[in-house]
Amino acid sequence: MGRSRTQREDAATRNGVVRDHLATLRGTRGRLLWWQIIAQIAVPLVLGALAFKLGWRVAFIGDLITGFSVLAGFLFGLVIFVFQLRLGITHDPRIQQKASLPRLIDELFSNVLYAVGVSLLAVVATIAADATSVALRASAGGGKATEPWATAVLIVIGAHLLAVMGMCIKRTRTAYAALKE
């Protein structure tokens, strides 16, 4: 017997967006996709540490806020599209013969939904970085720039977001290839 709607909602809440995304970091045989873990976690951390060590600062923080905000909006629209796609293929007899396609679309949904969360985090972090930015000397062009620690955080979040979006592109390509078969 199936679970009630409340039980399904409770399970979805317990699992969460992050857990659903992390579950997609396993291959079809259950093995961890180490190259994805390295790309999504290790590389952004190394880039952030490098930015901090070199003392990098971001001067045009408003442009980053705008960019991350627009990206968050586009990704949210993509989540809605993938959700509608999944609804459309649920009862399509042509798709029922392709066992891997619904799984790929479910994983894509998890990845894109997680990317929306990361992009919203990027917006909030960028606004916080702007709020804590310091005035530059007139010889440096005036204006404001972020502290090196804030720049490092923004680089970690931005690089992580790019890696997650790369995974979304890979899943889209794989789903398309499965559809063509």
As a whole number, the mean pLDDT across the chain is 86
User: Counting Cβ atoms within 10 Å, is residue 61 exposed (0-12), middle (13-18) or buried (19+)?
Assistant: buried
Instruction: Indicate the Cα dihedral angle 151, 166, 115, 24, nearest 10°.
Output: -120
Q: Is the pLDDT of residue 67 over 80?
A: yes
| Inter-CA distances, 158 with 3, 19, 24, 44, 169, Å | 39, 20, 20, 8, 16
- Asked if residue 48 lies in contact with residue 155, where contact means CB atoms within 8 angstroms, the answer is yes
Q: What are residue 135's DSSP bridge partners?
A: 144
DSSP reduced 3-state for 135: strand
Structure tokens at 105: 């679309």
DSSP reduced 3-state for 88: helix
pLDDT of amino acid 153: 97
pLDDT of amino acid 30: 78
Of 49-53, 129-133, 163-167, the range with the lowest mean pLDDT is 129-133
pLDDT 10s digits, 5-45: 665 555 555 569 989 998 888 877 778 889 989 999 999 99
- Asked if residue 113 lies in contact with residue 167, where contact means CB atoms within 8 angstroms, the answer is no
pLDDT of amino acid 55: 94
